[in-house]
A and B are shown apart, each in its own frame.
Chain A
Amino acid sequence: MSLLEVTKVSLNFGGVKALSNVSFTVKKGEIFSIIGPNGAGKTTLLNCISGRYVPVGSIRMNGVEMVGMKAHARPGLGIARTFQNIALFVQENVLDNVLVGRNHLLKAGILSSSLYWTRWGCLGEEAEANGAAVKALAALGLEGVINRPVADLPYGVQKRVELARAMVAEPNLLLLDEPMAGMTLNEKLELAGHIQKLNSEHDVTALMIEHDMGIVMSISHRVMVLDFGEKIAEGTPGEVMENTQVRKAYLGEEIS
Chain B
Amino acid sequence: MEYFLGLLINGIVVGSIYSMVALGFVLIYKATEVVNFAQGELLMIGAYFCMETIVRTRMPFIPAFLMTMIFMIVLALLIERLVLRRMLGAPIISVIMVTIGIGIILRMIVIQIWGATSLPFPDVFPREGISFGVVKVGQVYIWSLALSILFMVLFGIFFKFTRIGLVMRATASSRKAAESMGVPLTRIFALAWIISAVVSGVGGVLTGSIAGLTPELSFYGVKVFPAVILGGLDSIVGATISGVVIGVLENLGAGFLKDLTGLGGLGPVAPFIILVAILWVRPTGLFGTKDIERV
Contact = CB atoms under 8 A, between A and B. Distances in A.
Contacts of B173: 89-92
A165 B167 CA distance: 13
B204 to A, nearest CB: 24
Interface string A80-114: 11010001111110001101110110101010011
A52 B163 contact: no
A70 to B, nearest CB: 7
B191 A110 contact: yes
B164 interface: yes
Given A80-B181, A101-B181, A103-B181, A87 B163 contact: no
A118 B163 contact: yes
Contact of B180 (A75, A89, A110, A113): A75
Given A87-B174, A89-B169, A92-B173, A117 B162 contact: yes
A169 interface: yes
B161 A117 contact: yes
Nearest to B182: A104
A172 to B, nearest CB: 14
A72 B179 contact: yes
A87 B166 contact: no
Contacts of A192: none
Interface in A213-227: none
A81 B182 CA distance: 11
Contacts of A70: 184
A113 B163 contact: yes
Nearest to B190: A110
Contacts of A88: 174, 177
Nearest to B194: A110
A40 interface: no
Contact of B176 (A52, A106, A108, A117): A52
A139 to B, nearest CB: 18
B162 A83 contact: no
A90 B290 CA distance: 13
B185 interface: yes
Given A72-B182, A76-B182, A87-B174, A92 B163 contact: no
**B158, B164, B174 pick with most chain A CB within 10 angstroms:** B164
A27 to B, nearest CB: 23
Contacts of B119: none
Interface string B150-164: 000000001001111
A37 B81 CA distance: 43
Contact of A92 (B158, B164, B170): B170
**B158, B181, B183 pick with most chain A CB within 10 angstroms:** B181
Contacts of A129: 163
Interface string A183-206: 000000000000000000000000
Contacts of B177: 83, 87-89, 100
B279 interface: no
A211 interface: no
A153 B180 CA distance: 22
Given A114-B162, A126-B163, A100 B178 contact: yes
A152 to B, nearest CB: 15
A52 B185 CA distance: 13
B167 A100 contact: yes
B172 to A, nearest CB: 9
Nearest to A110: B164
Contacts of A100: 166-167, 170, 177-178, 181, 183
Contacts of A108: 163
Given A80-B180, A87-B174, A104-B182, 7 more contacts: A72-B181, A74-B182, A88-B177, A100-B178, A101-B181, A118-B161, A118-B162
27 contacts: A71-B180, A72-B180, A72-B185, A73-B182, A75-B180, A80-B180, A80-B181, A83-B176, A87-B174, A89-B173, A90-B174, A91-B173, A92-B170, A96-B166, A97-B170, A99-B166, A100-B170, A100-B178, A100-B183, A106-B163, A108-B163, A110-B164, A110-B187, A114-B165, A118-B165, A120-B161, A129-B163
